[in-house]
Amino acid sequence: METINALFASAVERFPGRTALLEPAGDAGIVSYTYAELQAKVYAFTGYLQEQQCVKGQRLMVWAASRVDWMVVFLGTLLAGGVVVPLDISSKQDFIERIAQTTGATHLVTTSKQFATLKSPSLPLIDLDNLPHGTFDAAALPPVTGDDLAELVFTSGTTGQPKGVMLSHWNIASNAMAALEVVKITQEDRTLSILPLSHMFEMTIEIAEFHGGASILYARSLVPDTLLKLLGTQGVTCMVLVPQALQLFMNGIERQVRIQKKVKQWEWLHRVAHKLPFGMRRLLFGAVHKRFGGHFRFFVSGGAYLPPKLAEWWENMGFRIMQGYGATECSPVVSVTRHEDHTYESIGQPLPGMEVKIAEDGELLVHGPNVARGYWKNPEATAAAFQDGWYYTGDLGSKDEKGRLYLKGRKKNLIVLANGLNVYPEDIENVLLANPAIKDAVVIGLMEKDEGPTVYGILLMDDPSQAKATIQQTNKQLASHQQIRGYTVWPEKDFPRTPSLKVKRPEVIEKLQSIRNSVKA
């Protein structure tokens, strides 16, 4: 199955009556669609595109939160031979217009409410709240192969020209099928979807879930109480999320422990749990598993670094954590930790059919059917990142004798001190994050006059008065060349973040410079 179209058609043939997608619908409760019903909705939207004379390769932009009809538009567009250009819901008009111009997209798919926020939009609306439909003509479908473009996924940078990753049907389908071999989602599983479908991590895993015959429940809200209610009532067995979401869930659970004044018992359970067989931990933390509905099996964490202590905290309670690593340019999953080979510090082993090697300077290079063709109308950027079939990730890492991969950090974030020693900011950030006074941290190499870069910390914390003591405690755990020489407490409630909740380091650094300049003035 070299196309997403063929993969979905196979799922419908094998699981026609099983539930494919669900979502909350206000007073109507939860609405659901079987695989056959979902295919009928896809055919109806494809029929509309056919009536609009959609041609092969035509680009449609989708700017909306995840929901059933988002997936209908995606599958219907691909069936008609079109290409989906996904945009994060937080994208601003200037970014949308730039992407529209760059791609030559013909329509913008969003809600009428969202569309009304745009001033003089250049593209006509396809209303996601009232999705148009037409008469489907299977005989008129263009031939679609694995080499044909399926998605153009653009970086969401606010400056410069965004890079559009060109992902083919085979890039995405091969990655989905390889991921399924490792993650082992089956037709008995029901996943809760909270990440945007504009993010390749969520999209590819959902395609994998289709291939396995699983059900996908769109949350439609990220309010913790709403999520816990869905988890508790809808038989959810697994979730794909980013580490910060795991942290937020953890914070909520521990807040309840404090309210119930059971902190000592809770800490004792965690001290005992790691010594017990995994199955027995579920009994020890039965109350937590009950809040998650009693059927929950595992989380797949990706999109950002997963602190080992956070993973251990969840596994102590009998929730399996699988950590994935990837990049949009790799469709996106590169490696995942295995159930049978679990190391908190590792980002796992490469998926089947994929090869990862370490360059002389420590950069991770990826080769496989999932590696993108390059960047849309950007030959210079393509030549820099894709060479001889290998994608240069920009991440520094290592590999052990069992093929397990370990990340050291981003190549562009590496701090080279005046004495030639290398400092990996992520190592220091992890030590900082182990301190409960620190909510998040960014470590950079700050240029000082005639001294070269020095290690500098930017701290996100509720109580700035603890900053000095926290830095002193952290430095005791670091080698002399790693020690933090200066710091600033971030003045806002949170760092600026990407849609996948990664910190936008360039924006943080720019704001830091502004803060320091104002102090000097």
Strand order, beta sheet including 486-489: 440-448, 452-460, 486-489
Residues whose CB is less than 8 angstroms from the CB of residue 430 and which lie 6 or more positions away in sequence, other chains included: 305, 307
Residue whose tokens read 């993650």: 183
Give the residue among 220, 284, 302 at the shortest CA–CA distance from 229: 220
User: What pLDDT shows up at residue 197?
Assistant: 96
Annotated domain spans of the chain: 414-520
Contact 459, 490 (CB under 8 A): yes
The rounded distance, in Å, linking the Cα atoms of 231 and 98 is 39
Q: Give the predicted TM-score (pTM) of the model.
A: 0.89
Q: Compute mean pLDDT per 10 residues along the chain, 521 residues long, and list them.
A: 96 98 89 98 98 96 97 98 95 92 97 95 96 97 98 71 93 97 95 95 97 96 86 94 88 91 94 92 94 94 86 94 94 93 89 96 96 96 95 94 91 85 88 91 84 89 94 93 94 87 87 81 55
205 vs 419: CA distance, rounded Å: 45
- Residue 83, Cβ neighbours under 10 Å: how many? 23
Tokens encoding 114: 């969202």
Q: Count CA atoms within 13 Å of residue 223 on its CB side.
A: 5
pLDDT at position 521 is 55
| SS3 at position 288 | helix
Q: What is the pLDDT of residue 158?
A: 40
Q: Give 414-520's CATH code, choosing from 3.40.190.10, 3.40.50.300, 1.10.1060.10, 3.30.300.30.
A: 3.30.300.30
Q: Is the dihedral of CA 458, 459, 465, 470 positive or negative?
A: negative
DSSP assignment string, 406-445:
EEEEEGGG-EE-TTS-EE-HHHHHHHHHTSTT-SEEEEEE
| Spatial separation of the C-alpha atoms in residues 187 and 170, rounded to whole Å | 23
